Amino acid sequence: MILIKTPSQIEGIRASSKLAATTLNYTASFIKVGISTEELNKIAHNYIISHGAIPAPLNYGGYPKSICTSINNVVCHGIPSKKEILKEGDIVNIDITTILNGYFGDTSASYPVGKISQEAQLLIERTKKSMELAIKSVKAGKYLNECVGRVIENYISPFGYSVVRDLGGHGVGIKFHEDPFVFHHNTPENHIMLKAGMIFTIEPMINASENWHVIQDKYDGWTIRTQDGSLSTQFEHTILVTNSGAEILTKI
Ligand code: MF3
Ligand code: CO
Ligand code: CO
């Protein structure tokens, strides 16, 4: 069931989303060669707690940390570790989800570490652009796939990239993951009419090869990597559907 949020719920989700966005921006300002992903986790954790909120990933289905940090061929759900040190040329996604007064906001972005290859830079720019094009096309009365999966796949595939299918966006706000499951590739499964008051994430994971398949780490049960070892990047916003378009809630 897809919830239509009430004005007071929207206020709460807007505030939590804003905190998620400022946490992401603050945490990302510490990205540099030599910092560990565990240090980034601590910075984000402390920032969220000091603003009266809770990091949603911590203990979510047994997840052990407060944020996700996904480097290079890691698609998503990378677990911060003090043994994982950022190095020159890496690309890293930081994913932040906050719970503020019971309301959830979810956002992520991918960043360069020092000087990166042109291949990596283009992947970051195009992934971000694909998310932005999808957000711009959202409007009440249109269909979910028409705005998201079709827009993203049509934009991204001419570059020889692929759209990850096994993970997607999701309704968000009252819970971490609500209906609908948002596909980022073109599929009739998302033939859902958008209505004002729906809130969901758009968070395309784009692989720098035509292989969209991913593998889950057997040992930690979380880390998702590209099957072929290619780079993958992701951007994520939480958005509110309105009659005139979409409002990005995870905006600074
Ligand atoms: N923030 C992720 C998302 O965008 C979910 C992370 S779940 C976790 O949906 F448990 F790995 F944190
Ligand atoms: Co999400
Ligand atoms: Co997220």
Residue 228 belongs to some domain of the structure: yes
The pLDDT tens digits of the residues spanning 162-221 come to 999 999 999 999 999 999 999 999 999 999 999 999 999 999 999 999 999 999 999 999
At residue 251, the pLDDT reads 97
Nearest alpha-carbon partner for 135 in 233, 232, 206, 240: 240
Of the pLDDT bands very low, low, confident and very high (cuts 50, 70, 90), residue 252 is very high
The pLDDT tens digits of the residues spanning 115-143 come to 999 999 999 999 999 999 999 999 999 99
Residue 158 belongs to some domain of the structure: yes
Mean pLDDT rounded to a whole number for the chain: 99
Ligand 1 neighbourhood includes 63 CB (under 6 angstroms): yes
Predicted TM-score (pTM) of this structure: 0.98
Strand residue runs (E) in 40-174:
54-55, 68-71, 74-76, 91-100, 103-112, 162-163, 169-171
In the chain, the percentage of residues whose pLDDT exceeds 90 is 100
Ligand 1 neighbourhood includes 184 CB (under 6 angstroms): no
Q: What amino acid occupies position 80?
A: P
Residue 1 belongs to some domain of the structure: no
Ligand 1 neighbourhood includes 77 CB (under 6 angstroms): yes
At residue 141, the pLDDT reads 98
Residue with CA at minimum distance from ligand 1 atom 2 = 95
Domains: count for the chain: 1
Residue 229 belongs to some domain of the structure: yes
**Which atom belonging to ligand 1 lies closest to the Cα atom of 222?**
11
Q: What's the domain range around 61?
A: 7-248
CATH for 123: 3.90.230.10
Residue 140 belongs to some domain of the structure: yes
